Amino acid sequence: MKFFINKENLLFAIQSVQRAVSQKSPLPILTGIKFSCEEDKLVLSATDFEISVRCAVPATVEESGSLVIPARYITEFARRLPDSIIEFEAGPDSTMAVIRYGDSEFNINGYDASEFPSFVIPEEEFSFKLDADLFKEIIKQVTFAVSTEESRPVFTGVFFEIVAGRLTIVATDTFRLALRHTAINEETPELINVIVPGKTLNELARTADPKSIVEVIIGKTHAAFITGEIQIIARLIPGKFPSYRQVIPNQFISEIKIPLKDFLESAERVALLAGENNLLVSLYIRENHVVLNMRSETGWIREEIKSEVNGDKLEISFNVRYLCDVLRSINYEQLVVRFTGPLTPALIIPEDNKDYLSILVPARLSRE
Amino acid sequence: MKFFINKENLLFAIQSVQRAVSQKSPLPILTGIKFSCEEDKLVLSATDFEISVRCAVPATVEESGSLVIPARYITEFARRLPDSIIEFEAGPDSTMAVIRYGDSEFNINGYDASEFPSFVIPEEEFSFKLDADLFKEIIKQVTFAVSTEESRPVFTGVFFEIVAGRLTIVATDTFRLALRHTAINEETPELINVIVPGKTLNELARTADPKSIVEVIIGKTHAAFITGEIQIIARLIPGKFPSYRQVIPNQFISEIKIPLKDFLESAERVALLAGENNLLVSLYIRENHVVLNMRSETGWIREEIKSEVNGDKLEISFNVRYLCDVLRSINYEQLVVRFTGPLTPALIIPEDNKDYLSILVPARLSRE
């Protein structure tokens, strides 16, 4: 292997794949990035078996071949290289990389690339395309509700359901649920549903270029997300996602219309008083305003927000962090919150948009 | 106590004093910020007994008085306040703060301000003024060499020596030393020398407004640094600073002239290979270039830098982190490094400036 590359392309490729590098794998080779070159491309790939990322960039290839280089060193090193053409060459036994720049040279022990897991785009069952900025938005709107408890794997994922030109994505940790519908151009002949790890989707939403297109390919055991020269493969989570339709309430005793900005800012101030023993914010639904209230050993806070209120007066308590999570993740000016009772789930929806909803389960007041 | 203030002034004052708040004091009141108001000012102060900071900002005072408010809550809270006029009032027993904004209200338990340590500018022995940007520069040039070992307190400080219109500041941890001379306008009748905690100076250099003037007041046990509406008092470190003059070498066997940028970038790449067991970079001084070299289990690196070389060829080894520290802290284009031998201290000075010097003690090669 021997190639020449400029610093900018090298850095872009390394930064694109580095999040998939295994931090503490029992297999040392997975702490490396695979460098592979042929024709006029350098192809980098990394995997921790849950997520695999591959990125191709232009390079002047003198001799094809591949080599795995420890990510920890090459990432920092590439950032500190001079802005010049960099030469990479595999040492004689193909496990050492020799990197030349100016009159200097860096030699680093690597691994035999033949032992690196191969990168295979899953065989396509169904695929569709979305604008990357829409993809980022819908992912952000649901992933806050993903569970972090590894003991119940299906809740750590985001459910993708596709039927009749409509994609529905759902996440829940049983205390809250977030759901988003999006139209897609492709029609699927039958219902498709899979669970994609939430962490992978967050990573994808973080890195995707907002101006690009994301192609989503769904296979039997894996899904692939392709945007520009970057390909990401995620292992699907096996299991059955809970039936979300039956938990969406449809009868309500009262409803408020409230500006998101005011609601979020008040909730965030209230959250400052939250400690390990007091996470509950009480909402008092009154005639033309909502009061948020929390009391702790340190003090108490009372936030009053003007709001259109219809239906019964009500007092209900939520985990204040869960309330902040949902308000931070959605991006609509005016929200409608519908209540089914003081101890039953509330529904949060945008005022003029039927594509999004979120459900929040109330908590009993700790002083009860 | 009752006053009205805008968010911007409140935040500025809190952020100015919060670094002096004690993080884990046995005295709970020191985890608070003292709010005090009289005439048309709100005065905030905080202290951990090593450093005390005071900041005054304009406010509309309705009733004078003071109160100590827990820093942890008020700092975050002030950041999240709406951009409106905020009302502060002490509760009836003067240990609770009531903060009103819009239709909302935050109540937080505080402490009786009469138990808070008083803030006293030390009685002046000598004082001088410096432009804040110069002050920031000279502090940065020496504090990297301050020791972090609390067992030898004098080395954790920066030595200030003032004689005949010249300020000399020096820091050393015995492995390296950094010294900077600066002319000051005031003449002192006798030699003044004190040791100021390095941490305090770093904090001061970080916060001082670059366009302002820093007034330094030196007393018997404390020094004060005054810039604009911010006053910082530092406890002086008792003890005798080692005599720095006799450790500055004055006979050399060789000398290099080297661009700082090239030297630093090479040293930083070398430092990437440094681990717990290999911190030594070898410098080979050759005819018209310098080679930096490091070898570890992971690989090896060879950096070659063009340089004017006078005197003997030489091989010398340094702790690579110490070398990076000094190169990062000084800001001159061209450096001169003078060597006294392979196992004796080297002197680093700017090519055209006699106000700065740094000394680096070599390390024996670990493979010897």
Cβ within 8 Å, pair B289-A103: yes
pLDDT per residue, tens digit, chain A (368 aa), is 999 999 999 999 999 999 899 888 889 999 999 999 989 999 999 999 889 999 999 999 999 999 999 999 999 999 999 999 999 999 888 889 999 999 999 999 999 999 999 999 999 889 999 999 999 999 999 999 999 998 999 999 999 999 989 999 999 999 999 999 999 988 887 889 999 999 999 988 888 888 899 999 999 999 999 998 999 999 999 999 999 999 999 999 999 999 999 999 999 999 999 987 789 999 999 999 999 999 998 899 999 999 999 999 999 999 999 999 999 998 899 999 999 999 999 999 999 889 999 999 998 744 43
B21 by DSSP, 3-state: which?
coil
Between A304-313, B90-99, B247-256, B311-320, the lowest mean confidence (pLDDT) is in: B90-99
Contacting A with CB below 8 Å, chain B residues are: 70, 73, 76-77, 80-82, 96, 102-109, 265-266, 268-269, 272-273, 289, 297-304, 306
Confidence band (pLDDT; 50, 70, 90) for B361? very high
Q: What is the pLDDT at residue A143? A: 97
Who contacts A218 (Cβ-Cβ below 8 Å, separation ≥6)?
A122, A124, A125, A126, A127, A160, A162, A192, A194
Q: In what order do the strands lie in the sheet with A32-38?
A: A65-70, A32-38, A41-47, A51-58, A230-235, A222-227, A213-218, A126-131
Distance between B292 CA and the closest CA of chain A, angstroms = 9
Query: Chain B residue with minimal CA distance to A294?
Result: B106
CB atoms within 10 A of CB B293: 17
Position B263 confidence tier, pLDDT thresholds 50, 70, 90 = very high
Count of CB pairs separated by less than 8 Å, A with B:
80
Chain A residues whose beta carbon lies within 8 Å of the beta carbon of residue B78? none
> B289 to chain A: which residues are within 8 Å by CB?
103
Q: A265 and B299 in contact by Cβ < 8 A?
A: no
Q: Which residues of B touch A73 (CB under 8 A)?
A: 272-273, 298-299
- B207 touches B60 (CB < 8 A): no
Look at B266 and A104 and tell me if their CB atoms are within 8 Å.
yes
Chain B residues with CB under 8 Å of A303 CB are 104
Q: Which of A202, A196, A198, A160 is nearest to A181 (CA)?
A: A160
Instruction: Give the separation between CA A56 and CA B183, rounded to whole angstroms.
Output: 57
Residues of B in contact with A283 (CB under 8 A): none
Tokens of B184: 């000051």
Distance from CA of A263 to the nearest CA of B (A): 12
- Write out chain B residues lying below 8 Å of A100, CB-based: none
Q: Which of A14, A73, A111, A272 to mutate to test the interface with B (most CBs of B within 10 A)?
A: A272
Residue B38 confidence (pLDDT): 87
Distance CA A44, CA A34 (A): 5
**Residue A232 identity (one-letter amino acid):** I
pLDDT tens, position by position, B324-341: 999 999 989 999 999 999
Cα–Cα–Cα angle for B150, B151, B156, rounded to 5 degrees: 45
Question: How close, in Å, is residue B111 to chain A by CA atoms?
Answer: 11
Residues of B in contact with A109 (CB under 8 A): 297-299
User: Quick one: closest CA in B to A274, which residue?
Assistant: B73
Query: Which residue bears the tokens 């019964």?
Result: A312
Condensed to tens digits (0 to 9), the pLDDT of residues B184-237 reads 988 887 889 999 999 999 988 888 888 899 999 999 999 999 998 999 999 999
- Residues from chain A that touch B28, judged by Cβ atoms under 8 A, are none
A25, A156, A249, B149 from A22: Cα distances, Å: 6, 19, 42, 36
- Best to test chain A binding among B268, B298, B305, B324 (most A CBs inside 10 Å): B298
pLDDT for res B25: 80
Q: What is the average pLDDT value for chain B, to the nearest integer?
A: 93
Q: Amino acid identity of A283?
A: L
Please give the pLDDT value at position B353.
86
Q: How far is A347 from chain B (nearest CA, A)?
A: 25
**Mean pLDDT across the stretch B119-144?**
94
Predicted pLDDT of residue A42: 98
Q: Which of B96, B103, B299 faces A107 most closely, judged by CB atoms?
A: B299
Residue A184 is predicted with a pLDDT of 94
Q: B27 pLDDT exceeds 80? A: yes
Instruction: Indicate the residue of A73, A265, A268 with minimum beta-carbon distance to B298.
Output: A73
Distance CA A54, CA A52 (A): 7
Write down all domains in chain A, each with its CATH number in brackets.
2-115 (3.10.150.10), 126-245 (3.10.150.10), 250-360 (3.10.150.10)
Asked if B106 lies within 8 A of A301 by C-beta distance, the reply is: yes
CB of B326 within 8 A of CB of B360? yes
- Average confidence (pLDDT) over B151-161: 96
Closest partner CB to B73 (pick from A106, A272, A303) = A272
